Chain A
């Protein structure tokens, strides 16, 4: 199975300041079709997960442009340009390149 490792596991951030979460996979996430199926999910307290970013850097429908994704191969990053109060929650990277799909441990974003 592909192991997804996120850092940090906790990220206290000041409102209006940027935040960054890293995700590393134990093997390349490049699929045989040439795509890299690395996604980012947000889970607000008491809510189900919500897709933010798919295929490394594509924002999903309705996702604010302060969220951006980057990376390639085995190293990926989610950035929030200016953190807002509604961004509090846990962020997961996940790979859909091969089964079983796997998730990072989650990074808890909280406001300082």
Chain B
């Protein structure tokens, strides 16, 4: 069974940093792209970032480019999202999602809540 478990969320002040982790199991982690998608309270889904299988290529939404960094450790079956210079509008539930083979984002974790507030 595919499982994705996010951790590392919490309450931070504007300008601070936070690192999210997503532990994967139930599939060959190193064979799949991984994504982060966020959802502000009561709002829709917004794609944030993705990383290719070996970590050699990454892509970001313009809203987080230069502030967020996605990375992965295939030995630990874990993908990370380092978030720096956090702003109030980064407040959201952050989901990690598996990139399928032609299926887009096919499995999603339960999400980690990040609140940025002074």
B100 to chain A: which residues have CB within 8 Å? 51, 54
The digit string for B87-107, where 1 denotes a CB below 8 A from any CB of A, is: 000000001010010111111
Residues on A facing B (Cβ under 8 Å): 35, 37, 39, 41, 48-51, 54-55, 58, 60, 92, 94, 96, 99-106
Q: Which residues on A sit within 8 Å (CB–CB) of B45? A: 41, 49, 92, 94, 103, 106
Q: Is the CB of A101 within 8 A of B44?
A: no
Query: How distant is the Cα of A99 from the Cα of B99 in the complex, in angstroms?
Result: 13
**Interchain CB contact under 8 A, B109 and A48:** yes
> Are the CB atoms of A48 and B111 closer together than 8 Å?
yes
B50 contacts A51, C-beta separation under 8 Å = no
Q: A37-B102, A54-B100 are in contact. Are A103 and B109 (CB under 8 A)?
A: no
Q: B residues near A, CB below 8 A?
A: 35, 37, 44-47, 50, 59, 61-62, 95, 97, 100, 102-111
* 13 chain-A/chain-B pairs, Cβ below 8 angstroms: A37-B104, A49-B45, A49-B105, A51-B104, A51-B106, A54-B100, A55-B103, A94-B104, A99-B50, A100-B62, A101-B50, A103-B47, A104-B44
Cα-based distance from A51 to B108 in the complex (angstroms): 9
Task: Please provide the 4 A-B residue pairs with the shortest distance between their CB atoms, ordered closest to farther.
Answer: A96-B104, A101-B47, A54-B103, A48-B108
Find out whether the CB atom of A60 lies under 8 angstroms from the CB atom of B106: yes
Chain A's closest residue to B48 (CB) is A100
